[in-house]
């Protein structure tokens, strides 16, 4: 019920503030912004804590009471990440980049024509297939992949990881792009067909260039999902292709008390995602409902 | 009509083959040995986990407990926050952006940060708890606290999802009923409970559907923070299936559990879709 009253007073406060910008309106506006900050605080704190701890020495990271500010920052945790030969962070970053880029490109090559044909020819059955994939536990994909890749001696290779990550990237690309292709004006395509363009020519020269914004958005989202993927990489990688999430997960095992080092690793993985998100804000929620395989 | 065919064939293959394969494996016994090929054992795997496995039913119960707790809190908080944010104010765009971060940040990284915060001795959460004058909590090391603690991480990650979907739903509500209500002299509270929330119900149900499907399947945060501990008390169905498949290599048995798991998630989805139809 506190919700109801909060909303009610909030709504009145805005109206009141517009009507008479006196002291009462100002006070209510301050109260509203205070409420907004209280709501945001827990969401921001976790990121703040990750970043602040990544600049702490071992002693500062273990201080009690915890140090929220006012310590001498150090870059030692980041330096250690890239200088520890037993834990080649740069290699893990390259692995993550290669796999996410490969799975995104291949996802586009396979996903764009599929999305186009679903959008143009109303193949509702395929929508159902994607929905089923949404419900399927990720392990159901992983068991057959693991058996096949083991038989072929492909465990811990880029190819097997890129193929497995396709299961993460393709549904997002198809789901988002069906919407984009459906919104394209059909007249342009029909005109191209009348002028003698082939089906593929129309798709390649008319529809794709018109959907550039959608392609970029779905590619970035697909990249993020692949970059974040943990379960598939956990099972299918070993020393050669270990991705960042798996490396950091293992990392926790032998530095369980060094919170500074753990936080630095966590910050390094998260930073590229946060930057990429800024470019595709409008499409994130839709992409998340497509959902990819989360577990 | 010809050129997308390979893409669609591939799409069908990647989605349908695992279903068929899981069904096939679920009636085999196979410990991933090259010497012992899979042997057909009928429905024995199913009978085994249904009737003879002390870890199976508790993991089902935990899966539901975790999902119910997390999704219920996310829905109440998410909708409440959306109602508060549903107005024009300076900084609204920035807040929308900030709300995207918990959802897209790498779950393993987020789980690690929470793991450091849950530390009973040095963690910042117990500092807050003690500042509030409450006794410290063992968090993920305590069998009673571990599921709520993991749900807390899920709530932190996914409350913004409900908020953003609800905000989108709010912005598409018609304005006529509000004008009518105002003319009739309805109080803000009446407008909220009798007008806004009923009109929002289909939107909220869809958001809950997506959340419930994902919460049932939660893997990353549990695997990173507890791996099913303390003492199995956070072992959900997904974690247990993963253990069977990739720690014990009981691939047939794991596949049978996965068939059950798939039907369970499917059942919950159908149930929620019924609710949605009733709401419309």
* Residue A263 contacts residue A53 (beta carbons within 8 Å): yes
Alpha-carbon distance of B20 to A39, in angstroms, equals: 46
pLDDT score of A163: 92
Tell me the average pLDDT across A195-210.
87
Flag if A147 and B210 touch (Cβ within 8 Å): no
* Residue A125 contacts residue A190 (beta carbons within 8 Å): no
Q: What is the pTM of this model?
A: 0.91
Judge whether B116 is closer than 8 Å to chain A, CB to CB: yes
The count of other CB atoms within 10 Å of the CB of residue A152 is 11
DSSP H or E run through A3: helix A2-19
Specify the number of domains making up chain A: 2
pLDDT tens profile B245-271: 999 999 999 999 999 999 999 999 888
Tell me the average pLDDT across A237-262.
85
Tell me if A60 is assigned to some domain.
no
pLDDT score of A285: 74
Alpha-carbon distance of B129 to A168, in angstroms, equals: 39
- A206 and A116, same domain (yes or no): yes
Contacts of B89 in chain A (CB under 8 A): 14, 32-33, 36
> Rounded mean pLDDT of chain B?
91
Tell me the average pLDDT across B233-242.
96
Judge whether B187 is closer than 8 Å to chain A, CB to CB: yes
Alpha-carbon distance of A57 to A245, in angstroms, equals: 23
Q: Quick one: tokens of A119?
A: 């959008």
pLDDT score of A5: 38
**Is pLDDT of A12 > 60?**
no
Tell me if A209 is assigned to some domain.
yes
**Angle, CA A172 vertex, CA A169 and CA A177 arms, to 5°:** 120
CATH no. for residue A150? 1.10.3720.10
pLDDT score of B151: 98
**Is pLDDT of B102 > 80?**
yes
Contacts of B25 in chain A (CB under 8 A): 143-144
- A285 and A213, same domain (yes or no): yes
Tell me the average pLDDT across A31-43.
95
Nearby residues of B245 by Cβ (< 8 Å), 6 or more positions away: A139, A142, A143, A146, B251, B254, B255
Flag if A138 and B192 touch (Cβ within 8 Å): no
CATH architecture of B39-279: Orthogonal Bundle (1.10)
- A92 and A225, same domain (yes or no): yes
Tell me the average pLDDT across B178-190.
91
Flag if A110 and B10 touch (Cβ within 8 Å): yes
Nearest CB among A262, A277, A295 relative to B238 is that of: A295
Selection from A83-87, A92-96, B6-10 with the highest mean pLDDT: A92-96
Asked whether this complex has an ipTM greater than 0.90, the answer is yes
Domain ranges of chain B: 39-279
pLDDT score of A254: 63
**Is pLDDT of B236 > 80?**
yes
Flag if A147 and B10 touch (Cβ within 8 Å): no
Alpha-carbon distance of A269 to B271, in angstroms, equals: 38
Alpha-carbon distance of B248 to B195, in angstroms, equals: 54
Question: Where do the H-state alpha helices sit in B172-250?
Answer: 176-183, 188-191, 197-216, 220-225, 237-242
pLDDT tens profile A219-235: 999 999 999 999 999 99
Distance of CA A234 to the CA centre of its chain: 18
Tell me if A47 is assigned to some domain.
no
Q: Name residue, tokens 């809190």.
A: B73
Question: Where do the H-state alpha helices sit in B105-196?
Answer: 107-118, 124-131, 146-171, 176-183, 188-191
> Rounded mean pLDDT of chain A?
84
Alpha-carbon distance of A282 to B96, in angstroms, equals: 10
Alpha-carbon distance of A241 to A239, in angstroms, equals: 6
Q: How sure is the predictor about A290, in pLDDT bands with cuts at 50, 70 and 90?
A: low
Contacts of B116 in chain A (CB under 8 A): 49, 53, 259, 262-263
Tell me the average pLDDT across B225-248.
93
**Is pLDDT of A179 > 90?**
no
The burial of A165, by beta-carbon neighbours within 10 Å (0-12 exposed, 13-18 middle, 19 or more buried), is given as: buried
Minimal C-alpha gap between B246 and chain A (Å)? 7
pLDDT score of A123: 62
Flag if B161 and A288 touch (Cβ within 8 Å): yes
DSSP state of B233: T
Residue A280 lies in domain: 83-290
**Is pLDDT of A11 > 50?**
no
Q: How sure is the predictor about A218, in pLDDT bands with cuts at 50, 70 and 90?
A: very high
By mean pLDDT, which of A188-197, B124-133, B140-149 is the weakest?
A188-197
- Three-state SS for A151? helix
pLDDT tens profile A146-175: 999 998 999 999 999 999 999 889 888 988
Alpha-carbon distance of A206 to A189, in angstroms, equals: 7
pLDDT tens profile B189-217: 999 999 999 999 989 998 999 899 999 99
**Is pLDDT of A122 > 70?**
no
- A173 and A34, same domain (yes or no): no
DSSP H or E run through B28: strand B28-29
Tell me the average pLDDT across B122-141.
93
- A154 and A259, same domain (yes or no): yes
The count of other CB atoms within 10 Å of the CB of residue B197 is 14
pLDDT tens profile B19-34: 899 999 999 998 887 7
Flag if B258 and A143 touch (Cβ within 8 Å): yes
Cis peptide bond prior to A260, omega within 30° of 0: no
Of A79 and A291, the one with more pLDDT: A79
Q: How sure is the predictor about A9, in pLDDT bands with cuts at 50, 70 and 90?
A: very low
pLDDT score of A130: 67
């Amino acid at each position: 019920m506190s919700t109801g009253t909060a909303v009610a007073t909030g709504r009145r406060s805005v109206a009141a503030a517009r009507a008479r910008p006196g002291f009462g309106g100002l006070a209510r506006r301050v109260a509203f912004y205070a409420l907004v900050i209280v709501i945001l605080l827990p969401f921001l704190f976790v990121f703040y804590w990750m970043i602040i701890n990544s600049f702490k020495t071992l002693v500062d990271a273990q201080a009690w009471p915890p140090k929220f500010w006012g310590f001498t920052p150090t870059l030692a945790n980041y330096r250690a990440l890239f200088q520890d030969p037993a834990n080649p962070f740069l290699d893990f970053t390259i692995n993550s980049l290669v796999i996410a880029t490969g799975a995104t490109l291949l996802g586009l090559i396979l996903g764009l024509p599929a999305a186009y044909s679903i959008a143009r020819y109303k193949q509702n059955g395929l929508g159902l297939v994607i929905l089923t994939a949404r419900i399927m536990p990720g392990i159901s994909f992983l068991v057959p992949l693991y058996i096949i890749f083991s038989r072929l001696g492909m465990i811990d290779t880029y190819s097997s990881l890129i193929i497995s990550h396709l299961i993460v990237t393709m549904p997002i690309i198809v789901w988002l792009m069906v919407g984009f292709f459906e919104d394209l004006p059909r007249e342009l395509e029909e005109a191209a067909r009348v002028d003698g363009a082939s089906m593929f020519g129309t798709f390649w020269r008319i529809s794709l260039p018109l959907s550039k914004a959608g392609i970029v958005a779905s590619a970035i989202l697909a990249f993020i999902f692949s970059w974040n993927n943990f379960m598939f990489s956990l099972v299918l990688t070993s020393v050669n292709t270990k991705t960042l999430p798996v490396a950091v997960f293992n990392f926790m095992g032998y530095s369980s008390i060094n919170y500074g080092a753990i936080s630095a690793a966590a910050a390094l993985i998260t930073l590229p995602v946060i930057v990429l998100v800024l470019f595709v804000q409008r499409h994130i929620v839709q992409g998340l409902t497509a959902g990819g395989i989360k577990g | 009509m010809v050129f997308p065919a390979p893409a669609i064939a591939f799409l069908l293959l990647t989605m349908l083959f695992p279903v068929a394969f899981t069904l096939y494996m679920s009636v085999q016994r196979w410990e991933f040995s090259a010497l012992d090929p899979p042997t057909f054992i009928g429905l024995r795997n199913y009978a085994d986990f249904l009737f003879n496995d002390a870890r199976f039913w508790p993991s089902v119960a935990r899966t539901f407990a975790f999902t119910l707790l997390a999704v219920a809190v996310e829905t109440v908080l998410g909708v409440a926050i959306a109602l508060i944010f549903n107005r024009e104010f300076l900084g609204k765009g920035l807040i929308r952006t900030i709300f995207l971060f918990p959802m897209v940040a790498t779950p393993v990284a987020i789980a690690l940060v929470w793991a450091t915060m849950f530390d009973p001795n040095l963690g910042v959460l117990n500092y807050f708890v003690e500042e509030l004058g409450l006794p410290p909590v063992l968090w993920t090391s305590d069998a009673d606290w571990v599921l709520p603690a993991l749900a807390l991480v899920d709530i932190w990650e996914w409350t913004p999802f409900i908020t953003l979907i609800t905000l989108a739903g709010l912005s598409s509500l018609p304005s006529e009923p509000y004008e009518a209500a105002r003319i009739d002299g309805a109080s803000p509270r009446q407008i909220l409970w009798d007008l806004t929330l009923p009109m929002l119900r289909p939107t909220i149900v869809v958001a809950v559907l997506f959340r419930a499907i994902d919460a049932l399947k939660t893997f990353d945060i549990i695997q990173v923070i507890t791996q099913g501990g303390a003492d199995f008390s956070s072992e959900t169905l997904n974690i247990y299936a993963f253990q069977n498949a990739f720690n014990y290599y009981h691939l047939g048995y794991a596949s049978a559990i996965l068939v059950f798991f798939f039907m369970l998630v499917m059942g919950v989805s159908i149930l929620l879709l019924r609710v949605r139809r009733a709401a419309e």
